[in-house]
Amino acid sequence: MDQIPILMVGDCLLVSIQVDMHDQLALALQDSLMTKIVETGARGVMLDISSLQFVDSFIGRLLNNIASMARVLDAATVVVGMQPAVAITLVELGLTLSGIRTALNVDKGLALIRRIIDGEEQAFDRREG
Amino acid sequence: MANKADTIISTLITRSRKPLLDEWLARQATMAGSGAIAADGDVKEYCTRFLAELDTGLAAGEVGDIRGAGWSGMRELLEEVSRSRAGKGFTPSETASFVFSLKAPLFALVQREAGDNAARLADELQSATTLLDTLGLYTVEVFQKAREEVIARQQEEMLELSTPVVRLWEGIVAVPLIGTLDSNRTQVVMENLLQEIVSAGAQIAIIDITGVPTVDTLVAQHLLKTVSAARLMGADCIISGIRPQIAQTIVHLGVDLSVTSKASMSGALELALKRIGKAVVERKARPAAEVS
């Protein structure tokens, strides 16, 4: 089975999703990501979904879950590089992912995580959608 | 029965086409709204072709059903007339009168031909009326369709015209919305905005609703959708240009916008600049000593 690599960059975990996310793979990712956070004591998780072309409600919910679980483990989650079509789909599905911080690209995402860890930014939006 | 009657109309049209045409043209010239019709320079050509096609259609032997192959030429002609008149701004009745005005001269001829035979006259008139009515209705139908096409095209053009996304600063884009927001427009605005956010690498998007006449719950929902989508991409949204009445309406409706909003575009730009760590400052006047 495919596996999505999880890279350690400083005290952040970087996950770049470059294949189609089927449900099994997504659940495996969630599992190994949590294990990795605990093992490494990472303070931030960055999910790069710029190559992801399709999402469904399951993946949308899973992203939300990963963010919530990581927060319990005291790690901030930032989703970066979402495609316009994916954003529109998620909004139409009613998933505004209000618990997740987002950034335009990996560069800005790393800067955002840095600010969150330094306590300059909220780890999640105060807005509830 | 019907066939017998048709033969007579068709002989009439074949035999006395010239006087019928003259009578018909004279009739159209004197009708109400004749100014506009007279301005239609092709009237004579259309009438001549109409009679020719009528002849063809009757010869094919299909009366009462103009959808047959024998009438294809006639249908094309009527479509051409309707479209040209719809384009020139004629009213539907002016367009339909093209066909209906043939009734009087044709009936006069039929009456002369039938002579004293009342039963035959009735039959003739019956079938002639039915045929001309069908043709007239078809004309109106095509006219309506042509007008609808014009409206649909204009709507599409409006959709394209009214959703520009402008770059205000490096990292700041703005969409000035003009007109009411419906689902279709929201879709177009959202797509354009998200595309521009990607290509400009924008962190902040300002949605200006100065040109939106009313904000009801549906419009607010559409705005929120756009804001959510932009946020998912990693850009923050600011809504600006909220007029006093709209602020009141929003609160009265109980809509929770829960988005950063500013009264004016300038306020929004100021906030956006602040968020990306920039500021517009007044240039310091140089001390007088330094100038000299």
Burial of B143 (C-beta count, 10 Å sphere; 0-12/13-18/19+): buried
Yes or no, beta carbons of B232 and A82 under 8 Å apart: yes
Same domain, B183 and B267: yes
Domain tally, chain A: 1
Q: What does pLDDT average to over chain B?
A: 82
Q: Do A104 and B201 touch (CB under 8 A)?
A: yes
Q: What is the pLDDT of residue B90?
A: 80
Residue B239 included in any domain:
yes
**pLDDT for the residue numbered A84:** 92
Is B283 inside a domain boundary?
Answer: no
CA distance A103 to A113: 10
- For A128, which residue in chain B has the nearest alpha carbon? B258
* pLDDT of the residue at B84: 82
List CB contacts (< 8 A) between B192 and chain A: none
Does B130 reside within a domain? yes
Cβ atoms of residues B240 and B209 within 8 Å: yes
Average pLDDT over residues A64-75: 90
Residues of A with Cβ-Cβ distance to B234 under 8 angstroms: 79-82, 102-105, 108-109
Last residue of a domain, one of B137, B156, B175: B156
Q: How confident is the model at residue A128 (pLDDT cuts 50, 70, 90)?
A: very low
Overall residue count recorded for chain A in this entry: 129
Are B233 and A129 a contacting pair at CB < 8 A? no
Chain-chain contact of B228 with A104 (C-beta, under 8 angstroms): no
| pLDDT category of residue B181 using cuts at 50, 70 and 90 | confident
| Structure confidence at residue A126 as a pLDDT band (50, 70, 90) | very low
Residue A111, Cβ neighbours under 10 Å: how many? 12
DSSP symbol at A105: S
- Chosen for mutation from B193, B198, B231 (greatest number of chain A CBs closer than 10 Å) is B231
Tokens of B10: 């068709």
Q: Which of A2-6, A71-75, B97-101 has the highest mean pLDDT?
A: A71-75
A61 occurs within a structural domain: yes
- Average pLDDT over every residue of B83-90: 79
Is B47 in the same domain as B28?
A: yes
* B64 in any annotated domain: yes
Let me know whether B177 and B56 are in one domain.
no
Q: What is the pLDDT of residue A127?
A: 42
User: How confident is the model at residue B6, as a pLDDT?
Assistant: 52
Nearest beta carbon to residue B203 from set A82, A104, A127? A104
Query: ipTM surpassing 0.85, yes or no?
Result: no
Contact (CB<8Å) B232/A105: no
Task: State which residues form the domain around B13.
Answer: 2-156
Q: Which of A22-31, B130-139, B165-174 has the weakest average pLDDT?
A: B130-139
Q: Read off the CATH number of the domain in which A62 is found.
A: 3.30.750.24
| Residue in A closest to B190 by C-alpha | A88
Chain A residues whose C-beta sits inside 8 Å of any chain B C-beta: 79-84, 86-88, 90-92, 96-97, 102-105, 108-109, 125, 127-129
Residues in B touching A83 (Cβ below 8 Å): 198
Size of interface A-B (CB pairs under 8 A): 63
Q: Give the pair of three-digit tokens for residue B62.
A: 């299909």
Q: Are residues B22 and B138 in the same domain?
A: yes
Residues B151 and B184 occupy one common structural domain: no
The amino acid occupying position B65 is D
Domain containing residue B104: CATH number: 1.10.490.10
CB A57 within 8 A of CB A90: no
Does residue B172 share a domain with residue B151?
Answer: no
- B198 is written with which tokens? 């990607």
One domain, residues B7 and B150: yes
Nearest CA in chain B to A92: B225
Structural domain boundaries enclosing A33? 6-117
pLDDT tens profile B213-265: 888 888 888 888 899 999 999 999 999 998 888 888 888 888 877 788 898 99
Residue B291 inside a domain? The answer is no
Report the number of distinct structural domains present in chain B: 2
In a domain, B292, yes or no: no
Most confident range (mean pLDDT) of A72-76, B14-18, B64-68 is A72-76
The pLDDT of B112-134, averaged and rounded, is: 82
Paired sense of beta strands A44-48 and A12-16, if any: parallel
Residue B288 within any structural domain of the chain:
no
List the single residue in B195, B232, B258 with the smallest CB-CB distance to A102: B232
Q: Is residue A49 part of a domain?
A: yes
B245 in a domain, yes or no?
yes
Question: Which residues of B touch chain A, with CB atoms under 8 Å apart?
Answer: 187, 190-191, 194-195, 197-198, 201-203, 224-225, 228-235, 258-259
Residues B124 and B174 in one domain: no
